[in-house]
Amino acid sequence: MGSLEGKVALVTGAARGQGRSHAIRLAQEGASIVAVDICDDIEAVSYQLSTPEDLKETVRLVEEQDQQIDAHIADIRDYEQLSAAIEAGTAKLGPLDVVVANAGIWAVSVEQPQERARRELVWKDTIDVNLTGVWHTLEATVPAMVERGAGGAIVITSSTAGLKGSTANDLSLTAYTAAKHALVGLMRGYAKDLAPHMIRVNTVHPTGVTTQMNMNDVVSEYLEKRPSLMDVMANPMPVPSVDPLDISNAVLYLVADSGRYVTGVTLSVDAGFNIA
């Protein structure tokens, strides 16, 4: 029997990358999965985002674990759309025990945007997805978890950039860092408020992860033009990036009984990035 047998978990950004990995790992431990992803591009993001086919592949991989999954295309920036997807998923699979607010973007571009309208777009899309979208996820899930009275666990994906300044005179990094820092404050507020209900809230802080957000032609060209960033972004442990499964195992620890009294924690999986 897995450590999440009979539980239901929501995973946002589930079509690929860390989200897909989290969905599979939680399913391996017995959880049914409500999977949500935008499956479309976002204007400020230069690399391709997930597709409906990606989400279908996540469904296939979770079903390979002999677990149920209900997948929905929804934009976390749109509360009504997101809430409807969650309501449909829980109607099919049951009430949520676990929420993994994972969806996020990096609005990186090869050249630093100079036009006022483009800079506004980079800032707005980053904050809307990485911060407001997470708040929407909590707004759409927490009331029902509290009303149910069965406790639960929430994990928010932040970043090493949520604990350490990562700007390098680049608006995409500044906006990303601001949002990921703000998630820590969001987490701590909810952790305190929800502790009496036995609902635990924590953040995970990955270093670079081997996913499509980091491994694409736009990011490769971006780094080629900024070789000094390679030193800034290097990990003390001699690994260029970590695997999505490394983050999934941390998420599993936090949402299973292994972390039953862990709340309000910023858990780094960063190969030592934040040591100094």
Residues with a catalytic annotation lie at 176
Cα separations in angstroms, 213 against 31, 93, 106, 244, 252: 26, 30, 7, 12, 22
Q: Are 127 and 172 in contact (CB under 8 A)?
A: no
Task: For residue 174, give every residue at least 6 positions away whose Cβ sits within 8 Å of its Cβ, in sequence order, or none.
Answer: 167
Cα separations in angstroms, 101 against 66, 84, 119, 227: 23, 16, 26, 32
Task: For residue 193, give every residue at least 6 positions away whose Cβ sits within 8 Å of its Cβ, in sequence order, or none.
Answer: none
Sign of torsion, CA 232 238 241 247? negative
- Look up residue 102 and give its amino acid: N
Token output for 90: 């829980």
Token output for 107: 């609005």
Q: Are 29 and 4 in contact (CB under 8 A)?
A: yes
Residue with tokens 């994990």: 155
Residue with tokens 């100079």: 114
Residue with tokens 């408020």: 193
